[in-house]
Structures are given as structure tokens and as C-alpha cells.
Structure 1
Amino acid sequence: MEYKVEDVSPVMKKVVVTVPAEEATAAVSATIAMYKMRTSIKGFRPGKAPASMIEAQYHSQIYNEATTDLVNLQINQIMGEMGATPLSRIDVDAKEIVKGEDFNYSISFEVAPEFKLPKYKGLAVEKEKAVVKDEELAEVEQRMLQNAAEVKVIEDVREPKDGEIASVSFATFKDGNPVEGLKAENFDLVLGEGQSLPEFEEVVKTLKTGEDGEKDITFPEDFINTELAGQTVTMKVKLHAIKERVIPELTDDVAKKAGGFESVEQMRQVIRDSYMHSREELNKSNAQKAMLKDLLDSVDFPLPESMVADRAERLVRDLEYKLDRQGKSFAATGRTEEQVREEFLPEAKETVKSEILLLAIAKEEGIEVTPQEIDAFLGRLAMQSKMPLHELKKYYEDNGLIMPLKDRIMSDKAMELVWENAEISEVEAGEEGEKKPAKKKAPAKKAPAKKAAAKTDEEKKPAAKKAPAKKAPAKKTAKKAEEK
């Protein structure tokens, strides 16, 4: 085998391969021999049928398999000798082997561009000082108290108000016929918290305990039940009872029930620490993004088109998945899939440029990723997704995602190296978001991770029935596997 490498562009290489007739014919003969051993021909014992008969009977399969096996074998050999790491799928331009003739074919693939690394050590970086306000902690306490509140029925016969819980039964009708999936019995609806359509709440708030009511309601165009989006229906409602939440005082007993804390003081300290850690990590992430942007602005190199297209496609598929979960489609956003893909191109280009730069730094610094680090990453992902580790790992292996994952981990390690070698100073945010230099420089040390014992973000509310809607079934979307 002989081959010649051509630089089609700074990021595209083409390899033209010439295989002598003898080598090509030998590949066909080897495949015929394998077919002979594993194929039964009537009238012959296994492995005893003439090679010519085997070749004639399975000609198409044999020559196709021989060509594929030979090309794959030689691609691995060529990549090893070139020391090349394709960033894209390897495109093969080859016809089928012909016995007794030289076999010529070519392969094309994209590689990382060559460029001079910018200075990435000793960079001056500002990181906003982490601050937790008392008002934020008070909001968390209030939510915890609301979750611990006791619900009591209000005996007065009157109309319900925002903040109260209305126990209702309702049904929906279209042209006099009941609409399946849009009815409920003794459904508790918290008023004024956006759990249902405003028009539906208006009906409920006009009723007194024990009363019935009805109203024509037009669903919005982006209603979760696409079949009813924009349609007008009649909703009939009965108010059974009005309930109120009795908020308890914050005591050690309430703190213990809320999160297993020993005291109110311990609960507040844990919440503050958790908030502070989250804020530190967020501010560090923002500072790293700004630092990376400065690095990217200091270099210029061509981007592999297939990588950009692949990243854009992934962003499109991610958005499609999120819309599916909401029972929506691209049409509901007022954009076509092509328009969405075009909008994602700038983000895709920035992602690819970042990855190429960080991988170049990793190569310069001799950073490597061990199998144990890959397993540890997948282990954390399996816990988050509540998916068995062996199934998740098999999915990544079957879809060619191990190498992209390795590159991601390597990029993260390169980012940490740049961060640890930066000159970091803390700044304080002004009242209008302007940053003022702090008097002291904070050491560029990584804050130790603390395990948060309490939720500090607003807890998710249970899925609300917007005059309840039946969720449209989610379409299955297959993410395109990244191949190298």
C-alpha cells in the first residue's frame, strides 16, 4: 500500500491510497476462505466446497466485505503513521475491489488547525465576591415554613382569595361534548400562583362554597394540549371548600421536621453555607467564561465545518427535546428547524473554538484523561439521571461518545490549569451591577466543596393542571452521536 497526503485546507486532509493488485486480490481470497469455512453448500462437507463456487454464490457479499475490511485496516495504519486525530467522520471514496487490478481509493477528514498558543498562564482575572443577603435566607425560611404549614378548611361561606386553596371539581366541554383529560374531582388549586389559566381562576374566585359556575375559555396558541390550542371550550366548575395554610412559627422542632436540623441556628448556618458555596461556584464559572473569552479573542484560526455543524445539530436536538417535553414543536416558537439551526451557529462556533483551544493547551501541558476519570464522570452522571451505570456506559460506547467525553474532561482539566495559574482578584458588585475593586486580593485557591444539607433554590412546584391539560405524548428524539 502507498498513500499520499494532501492538505485540502488548514483543517481538511485528503489521503489518496494505492493498493497493488496482488494485495487487493489477497484481501478477496482471504474473505472467500472465511466464507468457505462458515458456509454450507449442498453436496459438500463444510469447508470442502470449491472456492470458485463460493465466490460465485456470494460474490456481492464477499467483495463488499473484503473492500470494507481492507479499507478499515489501512485507515487505522495510516492514522497511526500520520499521528492524526480526526475531528470528524472519515469520508471514504472507494469503489469495489476488482481481482487482478490495482485498488485506488481516498479518504478525507478534518483535523484541528495549527496555531500559535496565546499566553495562558499568569492572566489577570477578576472574580466577583460571593455575597449572601439576609433577604435571600429569609425567603428560604419562608418557603420551608410554607411547606410545613397545616392546611385547614375555612368554615365561612364566601368567595376564595389569592393565597388560599380552592377544592374544586371541574369538567370541560367542546360543542356540548366532554373533552377527555380535562376534568378532575376534588382538585386542590392554590389561587394566585399561576397554577392554572387566569380565566379559570377568575371563574373559581366568583363562586362561594358549594356553588357551581361555568365560563367559555379560549386556550392560548401555545397551550400544552396542541389539539385544543386556540380553541374555545366551556368549563364547568364546582367549589367544594376553601382552605388556608396556617404557617407555623420557626422553632427548633419545625427545623428538625423540615430538614433534620438540630436547631434553627444550625439550619440557618447550613443554608447560608450552601448558598455561599453555590454563589462561589457561580462566580468562579462566570470569571472563567470571561477569561476564556479573552483567550479566544486573542487567537484566530479556521474551524472544522463538520464540528460546527455537529454542535449546532446537538443544540437543535436539545431544544427539540425540551419542546417535546412541553408538548410543543418548532412551529409553536414561530420558527422553522432551519431557522433555529441558523440561530445556533454562533454558539456552536464559539463552542468548537473553545474546545480546540483548550485541547491544544492540554496537549502542550501533557494533560491526559485516565479510564478511571471517565468512569467517575459516568458514575456521577448515572446517579444524577438515576440510570444504571452499565447501561449508561454501554450507551456511550455504542454511540461513539467515549472519545467526545474524554475530550470534554480534558478541556475541563485544561481550563482548571489556566485558572489555577491566573492572578485572581476579587471585586465587589456595585448597587447597579458595576464592579469595584476589592481592597484585598483573594488567593487563587479552589474552594472546598461542601455538601449542602438543605435546598437553597426555590423548590419546584408540582406540575399544575392549567384547567388541567392532557400532555401531548413526547416524540422520541435520537441525538446524533459524535464520531471522531
Structure 2
Amino acid sequence: MQVSVETTSSIERRMTVGVPAERIETEVNKRLQQTARRAKIPGFRPGKVPMNIIRQRYEDSARQEVLGDLIQSSFYEAVVQEKLNPAGAPSVEPKAFEKGQALEYVATFEVFPEFEVTGLESIAVERLQAEVTGADVDNMLDILRKQNTRFEVVERAAENGDQLNIDFVGTVDGEVFAGGSAKGTPLVLGSGRMIPGFEEGLVGAKAGEERVLSVTFPEDYQNLDLAGKAAEFAVTVNSVAAPQLPELNDDFFALFGVKEGGLEGFRAEVRKNMERELRQAIKSKVKSQVMDGLLAANSVEVPKALVGNEVNRLRVQAVQQFGGSIDPQQLPAELFEEQAKRRVQLGLLVAEVVKQFEIKADEERVRALIEEMAAAYQEPEQVVAWYYKNAQQLDEVRSVVLEEQVVDTVLQKANVTDKQVSYEEAVKPAQAPQAE
């Protein structure tokens, strides 16, 4: 087999492959012999059909199948021979494809870029330091109580924080508009759910009262037909309900799976969850800075094939996230290209750090991570056993640990400063996009 390779760009290769005619004919004859053993032709017993008849009937199709198979097999033989690492399927252009002659074709494809990760010392990372205080736990208990607020009907004027049950009809220039009417709608005053002026106009209203609210749709309203327009809403208040915070008692604790230990046991469980959230938030922000730093310090040309594959994955994820029966391929590729390119670049950089520093997943850390995830379940031992019985799930955890070890490796060389902050600041989402 003859192979020649032309470098057409830093990551594109144009490879010419020649497969000898003898190899083609040998494979065609094998295929015809296999066909002869099972061919059913009138007048002949199975396996007794003369080869000249088999060849006359089946040679053309057998040759086409052989040529297709040889292109595929010889391509992979050639890239192994030339020590190339394709990043995607090749584009194949036949050059010589005639009976009795050698098969010759040109395969154009991208390869994985070859590079070394550099500039780790230039990466600046601010590592947050925080702890969960008693006041933080108190604040979290208040949040949990508010999230489980009940509303009880009252006979008084509505105040901010009350939940009203309302009917309303909206009009613009005296005409009812689509989506501007509803019956039996619950609305918490002060929630900001409605356009400016709507909720404010219902403060002081009582059950059975009717009000007409004059409001203006914001200029940036999502419905462009209504943006910036004045409107009137005729509102009927069906009921007014005041918020009632639940007591910190056993019934409330049971909502969160805490069935013993009373208030102190519940506080301990809340603190444990907050500390886990704090560790994850700090780890995530450090990882984001490390990944941003790797990208800034290393320019990596990415194969289009890999970006295209990642775009397709993001399309599928988007459809799954937002529901519906849309074909993922109908979503424009440009919506995902920037994110896909970033993810591919990071994947290549992380893989190179693993290779460059000879990093292997620490099995003790793998076990610790699985146990930490399992701790959120009622029977953690079963969860741990499940992971160790499922090779694919276990490999996914190993990948997470491997990535954490990459971050640790970069931190050893990066410019790291520690900053003491409150729990709230530490868990607050970062302003910059998080790395995948």
C-alpha cells in the first residue's frame, strides 16, 4: 500500500492512498466465494452454482462493496502507518477506480493539534476563603421558611407580600389583546411578576373590589406589538390572603427529611448542606479562573469536526432542556458555535495537561467524591455500591476527579491569592461565564 501525506494547514492533512490491484482482486474473489455458498439460482443446488455464473451475476456489486470496505480499512491502516491522529471523518475523493487497476483515492481530514501547555505562571487566581457561621444558618432557616410560606384568606385591604386571587382583562386603545386576560390568577404583591404599576395599583384593594389600572408596557417588553404602549387592565379582586410562615417544628423539619434531633438536628443538617454548597461554589470559581487562564495563555487551533460534534451535542441539550419535539438540527449552528469552540479548546487543553504532567485519576479522591454525592441520599452505601457496579458512571466520576487534579496542578504554578469573604459572597454566582 502506497501512502503520501501533504500538510495543507497546521491541522489539515491531504493523504493519497494507493491499494494494489492484487489486494482488490483477492477480496473480490473472497466475496464471490462467500456468495456462491449461499446463492439460490434456479436449476442449481445451493453451493453448486458455477463460479462463472456467480461472477456474471454478482461481480459488479461485490466489487463495489469491496472498494468501499477497502477505502475504510486502508484509511485507518494509513493513518496508523503515518502516525496521524484524525479529529474527524475524512472527505474521500477517488482518483482511480477501474477494474484491474490499483485503487487510488485522496482523503482530506483534520488532525488533533499538537502543542504544549505554557504560561501557567501567568495565570492569576483569587481563591475565596469563607466559613458557615451561626448567623448564616439563621438566615438560611428564614429563607427555607419563606420558601414554604402558606397564604390564609384575610378580611382586610391588600398589602405588599399578600397573595391576591384576581380576574383581569387588558385593553390597548380600547381593544382586548391576546394574552391580556385571565381568571383566578394568584399574584403576590411586590413579586415583580407583572409589568410596572400593575401590582402597585392593587395595594389597598379588598376582596370583591374592582379596579382599573392604567399602565405602560416597558420599551423592552418581549412582545414587540405591546412594547411601549399604554394599556388599561380591569381587575376584579376575588380574595386577599396573608402570608403565614411555618413554625420551626418537627412537621417542618420532616419536609426536608429530618425526622429526629429537633431544631438542633435540623440546624446541623442545614449547616452540613451549606458547607457542601460552599465547598462546591469555591471550587467552581477557582476552576473557572483556571480554565479562563489556560485559554488566555494558550492559543489552540481547533478542528472544525470537533466543533461541529460539540454544536450537535449542545443542540440536543437545548431541546432536552426546553422541551418540545423540534429536531435539534433545526436550531441554527451559530447559536452554539462560540460555546462549542470554547468547550473543545478546554477539552484539548485539559487533555494536554493530563498528558504533559502524567496525571492519573486518584482512586482515593474518586471514592471520596462518590461518598460525598451519596451522602445526600437516605441509603448512601447502596449509592456507592451502584457507582462501583456501573463502569460508565464510575468513569464519569474519574473524569471529574481528573479535571480537579488538572486544576490542582495548574494552581501549583499559578499566581494564587486567598481572599476572606462571607458565606453569601462566596456562594454568589460569578459574573463571568463558568467553564464547562
TM-score range, shorter chain: 0.5 to 0.7
1:268 match = 267
1:362 match = 354
1:67 aligns with 2:59: no
Q: Does the 8 Å CA contact 1:359/1:410 hold for their aligned counterparts?
A: no
1:441 match = none
Give the direction of change, closer, same or farther, for the CA distance of 1:103–1:241 in structure 2 (3 Å limit): same
Report the alpha carbon displacement of residue 236 of structure 1 after superposing the two structures with TM: 6.0
Q: Does the 8 Å CA contact 2:302/2:345 hold for their aligned counterparts?
A: yes
Task: Report the Cα distance in structure 2 between the residues aligned to 1:92 and 1:162, rounded to whole angstroms.
Answer: 69
After TM superposition, list the pairs within 5 Å mapping 1:244-283 onto structure 2.
244-250=242-248, 254-257=252-255, 259-260=257-258, 262-283=261-282
Give the direction of change, closer, same or farther, for the CA distance of 1:314–1:94 in structure 2 (3 Å limit): same
2:140 match = 140
The RMSD of aligned alpha carbons is: 5.2
Task: Report the Cα distance in structure 1 between the residues aligned to 2:304 and 2:102, rounded to whole angstroms.
Answer: 33
Q: Does the 8 Å CA contact 2:96/2:102 hold for their aligned counterparts?
A: no
Could you list the per-position Cα deviations for residues 447-473 of structure 1 after superposition, in whole angstroms to 9, with x for gaps in the alignment? xxxxxxxxx999xxxxxxxxxxxxxxx
Q: Does the 8 Å CA contact 1:5/1:16 hold for their aligned counterparts?
A: yes
2:190 match = 192
Matched residue SS, 2:8 = strand
Could you list the per-position Cα deviations for residues 90-124 of structure 1 after superposition, in whole angstroms to 9, with x for gaps in the alignment? 33223684321110012233223333443869x99
Report the alpha carbon displacement of residue 27 of structure 1 after superposing the two structures with TM: 2.9
Report the alpha carbon displacement of residue 415 of structure 1 after superposing the two structures with TM: 1.2
Report the alpha carbon displacement of residue 47 of structure 1 after superposing the two structures with TM: 4.8
TM-score (norm 1): 0.62
Report the alpha carbon displacement of residue 219 of structure 1 after superposing the two structures with TM: 7.5
1:16 aligns with 2:16: yes
Task: Report the Cα distance in structure 1 between the residues aligned to 2:171 and 2:62, rounded to whole angstroms.
Answer: 65
Give the direction of change, closer, same or farther, for the CA distance of 1:189–1:89 in structure 2 (3 Å limit): same
Amino acid at match of 1:101: Q
Task: Report the Cα distance in structure 1 between the residues aligned to 2:49 and 2:160, rounded to whole angstroms.
Answer: 87
Could you list the per-position Cα deviations for residues 347-393 of structure 1 after superposition, in whole angstroms to 9, with x for gaps in the alignment? 554443332232223224445689xx9xx99xx9xx99xxxxxxxxx
Give the direction of change, closer, same or farther, for the CA distance of 1:308–1:271 in structure 2 (3 Å limit): same
Q: Does the 8 Å CA contact 2:189/2:200 hold for their aligned counterparts?
A: no
Q: Does the 8 Å CA contact 1:63/1:97 hold for their aligned counterparts?
A: no
Q: Does the 8 Å CA contact 1:253/1:263 hold for their aligned counterparts?
A: no
- Shifted more, 209-218 versus 300-309: the winner is 209-218
1:353 aligns with 2:345: yes
Amino acid at match of 2:277: S
Matched residue SS, 1:88 = coil
Matched residue SS, 2:151 = strand
> Where does the alignment leave 5 or more consecutive residues of structure 2 unmatched?
378-391, 430-436
Q: Does the 8 Å CA contact 1:169/1:238 hold for their aligned counterparts?
A: yes
Report the alpha carbon displacement of residue 266 of structure 1 after superposing the two structures with TM: 3.3
- Shifted more, 38-47 versus 211-220: the winner is 211-220
Report the alpha carbon displacement of residue 246 of structure 1 after superposing the two structures with TM: 1.9
Report the alpha carbon displacement of residue 18 of structure 1 after superposing the two structures with TM: 0.5
1:427 match = 418
Task: Report the Cα distance in structure 2 between the residues aligned to 1:212 and 1:34, rounded to whole angstroms.
Answer: 87
1:163 aligns with 2:161: yes
Give the direction of change, closer, same or farther, for the CA distance of 1:150–1:315 in structure 2 (3 Å limit): closer
After TM superposition, list the pairs within 5 Å mapping 1:72-471 onto structure 2.
72-94=72-94, 97-118=97-118, 126-132=126-132, 136-156=136-156, 158=157, 160-169=158-167, 183-184=182-183, 186-198=184-196, 201=199, 208-212=206-210, 237-250=235-248, 254-257=252-255, 259-260=257-258, 262-300=261-299, 302-308=301-307, 310-311=309-310, 337=332, 340=335, 344-345=337-338, 348-367=340-359, 412=403, 415-416=406-407, 418=409, 421=412, 427-429=418-420
Give the direction of change, closer, same or farther, for the CA distance of 1:234–1:337 in structure 2 (3 Å limit): farther
Q: Does the 8 Å CA contact 1:169/1:237 hold for their aligned counterparts?
A: yes
- Shifted more, 84-93 versus 99-108: the winner is 84-93
TM-score (norm 2): 0.67
> Where does the alignment leave 5 or more consecutive residues of structure 1 unmatched?
328-335, 385-400, 436-455, 459-484
Give the direction of change, closer, same or farther, for the CA distance of 1:202–1:56 in structure 2 (3 Å limit): farther
Q: Does the 8 Å CA contact 1:308/1:348 hold for their aligned counterparts?
A: yes
Task: Report the Cα distance in structure 1 between the residues aligned to 2:138 and 2:34, rounded to whole angstroms.
Answer: 75
After TM superposition, list the pairs within 5 Å mapping 1:44-63 onto structure 2.
44-49=44-49, 61-63=61-63
Report the alpha carbon displacement of residue 165 of structure 1 after superposing the two structures with TM: 1.1
Task: Report the Cα distance in structure 2 between the residues aligned to 1:182 and 1:58, rounded to whole angstroms.
Answer: 71
Amino acid at match of 1:360: E
Give the direction of change, closer, same or farther, for the CA distance of 1:55–1:138 in structure 2 (3 Å limit): farther
Paired residue total: 396
Q: Does the 8 Å CA contact 2:93/2:107 hold for their aligned counterparts?
A: yes
Q: Does the 8 Å CA contact 1:367/1:413 hold for their aligned counterparts?
A: no
1:440 match = none
